[in-house]
Structure 1
Amino acid sequence: MNLFRQMVCSNVSLDSITMVTICQLCGQMGSLKHANTLHGFSLVKGFSSHLIFGNALIDMYMRCECTKSAERFFHSMSIKNIVTWNTMIYGYMAVGCSSTGLSLFQQMQSKTGYKPDSVTIISLLQGSLSVTIVLLT
């Protein structure tokens, strides 16, 4: 994060790869403060309209367990792909919102025509595993 700040302060030209990397870092840290700052910065710099960055932003918010911000951004995206849907589904499953993840999975199929891929199936299994563990404890 310090290096990112230095890049911004030095007016280094940032690209989508750098921004996706910083999203991943914020998500790994679970820092909602940094996530919100990065999102605001991306809006000013025009990155939030990039599909790959948008998917990374959703993942970042989900990893920070801020499903509401992920949802708001997801619904604001004009272009989505299977990765976008899978990121949301996996995020819900990972934070224990299995019913919401399953509902989104159904919406993905009915509204978009996307067929589940291996990541979709793994995401759904993640939620099933979480539910099973809770039931066993």
Structure 2
Amino acid sequence: MLLLSLAIIALAVALIALAMIILFKSSYASELTSQLQQFKDSAEQINILRSEVQELRTGLLSIGKRVLEVEQQNEELTQQQAAQKYDDPDAKIYSRAVKMVELGADLEEVIRECELPRAEAELLFSLHKQKGA
């Protein structure tokens, strides 16, 4: 009889252990499924972000090319402007007059040295004062 009681108790303990194993397995499977779904969601988000980064990279390269083109055009225009400045004899006179005004020459000296009409010389002085203010 004692042996039968021990066998029943052992069987009961084994059933309880088996029930706990099944419960833990179910919980573990549920957690594993949840983590697998999170992993899939993260992988999808990474793919989306990679795509967006690639689009940004392509856009930046395009903008960079356009900036280089604009810089080249600006350089060409600056060179053309400088060339015109030296090709135009009147521009040389006005450049000289402006330089004289900046160095502190008086009105009569600028008129005499650059052979400018009084009104133009006065305008240069007026503009120089506005620039300095």
TM-score by length of 2: 0.29
Query: More relative contact order in 1 or in 2 (CA 8 Å, sep 6+)?
Result: 1
Higher CA-based Rg: 2
Higher helix share: 2
TM-score by length of 1: 0.28
